[in-house]
Amino acid sequence: MTRYAHFVGSVPKELMTGDGAVLRWFADNSGGHPTGLPCDLDPEWIIEYLLGRAEHDDVFEIVRAGEYADYSDFPSYGLRPGAKLEPRHVSMDRFDRIESVVAAFDALRADRPELAQTKLQLSQPNPLDLAMFVFAGAAVSAGFPLGQALRRSNLIVAALRALPVFTEAALEEIAAVNDRYGDRVIWQVESPFALLGMVKAEQLSAKWAAAPLLARQLAGLLGRMHNVGANSVVHLCYGDYQHKSLLGPRSLAPAVTLLNHTAQHLRMQGTPLPAVHIPCAFGSEPAPQDPAFYAPLRRLSPEWSLIAGVASSTPDADSARALHLFEEAAGRTAYGVATACGLGRCSVAEAEQAAATMTRLTTEASVG
């Protein structure tokens, strides 16, 4: 069985010399078997988006200042008295920008017949994450979802109240892009909040409460995307701002619990399960070498196509052993191999090494 190289999305800033150059870099470093070609517009994921909310100062006001120096320095926005939040205030406003990326993608595919069946991978942050980071900022970053966040629970409540508006804004853009480019695009739904919420809930012995809520929201989004004809893949994450994770997991149990609950909701909706990227490495830490870390995969729903986030710029043997442990516990060959997150926080040399490791892992013998 062929494994595919899955790139989460971003590249180091030094490589961002144009859409065509970014797409070519991914194509050249995929070993000929990419799950899709990404072209993320912000190497820091959503920082530019968060900064852009200040432009809507008729609706938003800053209730906690911050300069994004680290996770504890994220600002929080609030709604001005009497203001009504609308989708246009929280839209990512990327349609025109995506149009130029698609043009570069089409030009690359025209030059490379081997990419004829390859899709353009577009980033779609989960609206839950967007709402939480806009309204809760450092409260969320410092304590998914409790700790400091509880001391600012009014910000969390504001984010949840606004979530339907964020969801409508995202779906409007997805539908518009899909109407024009649907057969060429796959959306990567990205949700650090869902996975980190589960990690924190497990630490507090509260995963029984968190899992159904987080899974229902994620499955609801995936279902509505499917209903407008959009293809998707899920990227879970532990956070990677400045190449540092927010929380370090003790095992893959939080991811497995979240995905099993999500699978239940997707089945009830009649929504096919997309491929899912499960990060094993986190921040600057390589994937663990302890079999116990991967053991929870034994109880993961077999309907998920798995992308193993085990590759890094550390020695190949470590990534190879992590992939073996991942597939042995899951009882199946991974559909794809990936790093834990995007490469935007790496040096060029680290990005090249990680990509080379991914390429080698896609060609190794799979689990029998």
CB contact at 8 A, 159 and 166: no
Our CA angle for 254, 332, 315, nearest 5°, is 75
| CA distance linking residue 37 with residue 26, whole number of Å | 6
Name the percent of the chain lying above pLDDT 90.
69
Mean predicted confidence (pLDDT) in 171-178: 97
| Banded pLDDT at 286 (limits 50, 70, 90) | confident
Task: Please report the pLDDT score of residue 139 as a whole number.
Answer: 59
* Bridge partners (DSSP) listed for residue 252: none
Q: Residue 175: is its pLDDT beyond 90?
A: yes
Predicted local distance difference test score (pLDDT) of residue 29: 95
Contact 263, 306 (CB under 8 A): no
- What is the per-residue pLDDT for 288? 93
Q: Is the pLDDT at 15 greater than 90, yes or no? A: yes
User: What is the C-alpha R_g of the chain?
Assistant: 19
Three-class DSSP labels, the chain: CCCEECCCCCCCHHHCCCHHHHHHHHHHCCCCCECCEECCCCCCCCHHHHHHHHHCCCCEEEEECCCCCCHHHCCEEEECCCCCCCHHHHCCCCHHHHHHHHHHHHHHHHHCHHHCCCCEEEEEECHHHHHHHHHCCHHHHCCCCCCHHHHCHHHHHHHHHHHHHHHHHHHHHHHHHHHHHHHHEEEEEEEHHHHHHHHHHHHCCCHHHHHHHHHHHHHHHHHHHHHCCCCEEEEECCCCHHHCCCCCCCCCHHHHHHHHHHHHHHHHHCCCCCEEEEECCECCECCCCCHHHHHHHHHCCCCCEEEEEEECCCCHHHHHHHHHHHHHHHCCCCCEEEECCCCCCCCHHHHHHHHHHHHHHHHCCCCC
| Tokens 């991967």 found at | 294
Which residue, chain included where needed, has tokens 């990060």?
Answer: 279
Nearest Cα residue to 90 out of 136, 64, 59, 123: 59
Average pLDDT estimate for 294-319: 92
d(CA 309, CA 8): 9
Contact 245, 341 (CB under 8 A): no
Question: Do the beta carbons of residue 98 and residue 184 sit within 8 Å?
Answer: no
**Type of residue at 116:** A
The residue whose two tokens read 């009504």 is 84
Residue 364 sits at φ, ψ, to 5 deg, of -75, 160
**175 and 228 Cβ atoms separated by less than 8 Å:** yes
Tokens of 195: 């996975």
Distance, CA of 25 to chain centre: 20
Across all residues in the chain, what is the average pLDDT?
89
Rounded-to-integer distance, Cα 72 and Cα 188, Å: 27
2 φψ region: left (φ > 0), alpha (ψ -120 to 50), beta (else)? beta
What per-residue confidence (pLDDT) applies to 313?
A: 75
Q: Which two tokens stand for residue 328?
A: 């042995």
Whether omega before 145 lies within 30 degrees of 0, making that bond cis, reads yes
Least confident stretch, 15-29, 143-157, 262-276? 143-157
Q: Is the pLDDT of residue 121 over 80?
A: yes
Given this model, what pLDDT does residue 368 score?
A: 46
- Using alpha carbons, select from 274, 265, 287 the residue that is nearest to residue 338: 287
Q: How many residues does the chain have?
A: 368
Q: What is the per-residue pLDDT for 366?
A: 55
Instruction: Yes or no: say if 327 and 298 are a contact pair by the CB < 8 Å rule.
Output: no
